[in-house]
Amino acid sequence: MMRMAAMALCLALCLSCRREADLAQLQREAERRIAESNIAADKLLVMPPDTLVARLDQLEQYENELLALDTSRLNANQRKLWEQTQSSLQGVLKKLREHREDPVAYNLGGYVKRVLTNDTLNDEVRWKLIAENLAQAPAYYQNAQRTLANPSPQRLRLSVQKQMLTLRLLNGELRDSLQTATLPPSQRLYILKLIPPAQSAIKDYIVFCNNVYFR
């Protein structure tokens, strides 16, 4: 989907400027920039503040160029590609903007719960994804504290509530499910050791949200 969107973007830009010789270069650049900001539904978005801002700037520039095109001059197929590109850009931009502005966007529990209850995954894949997210939790929540600027009091309070639910999930359902998972003992132990650092990161984030709320 993202590759198709990148190709669509390049096509639209070339139609606008009539520089067909630049098509290959535009295609490579668009694919790279969009792929760098690809959002996975089952993985945390672990992105330092400066990287997040840079990605937003790049993609917003593409969005502005796309919206500046005269779509009335596109044929039906080209218009469909333009719409797919616009939709893909909007999805990525929405996720990045949320992580810049909304404390609720940082929600390890939502990712863990989604993977834990996904019946299409076997145990090996499920626990591999969960382990990766738990391992990333400290950096994920540290980035949150460095990135968020002027979050609203209401979203801060909601975020604290969600983090409390996540702590409950990690202490209860996650541990219970891990005990019955068909995993080697070494893998089970490895995941168990990832839980306390993740919990500490969440608790630090709760303190951060409360401090900002009462500032």
pLDDT digits (tens, 9 = 90+) for 169-207: 999 999 999 999 999 999 999 999 999 999 999 999 999
The mean pLDDT of 120-128, rounded to a whole number, is 92
CB 130 within 8 A of CB 112: yes
Who contacts 81 (Cβ-Cβ below 8 Å, separation ≥6)?
A: 4, 7, 8, 11, 12
Position with higher pLDDT, 78 vs 187: 187
pLDDT digits (tens, 9 = 90+) for 133-167: 999 999 999 999 999 988 999 999 999 999 999 99
Instruction: Give me the residue spans of the domains in the chain.
Output: 2-101, 103-213
Cα distance between residue 86 and residue 66, in whole Å: 7
pLDDT above 60 (res 15): no
Sign of torsion, CA 79 82 84 87?
negative
pLDDT above 50 (res 210): yes
pLDDT above 90 (res 90): no
Cα distance between residue 45 and residue 194, in whole Å: 18
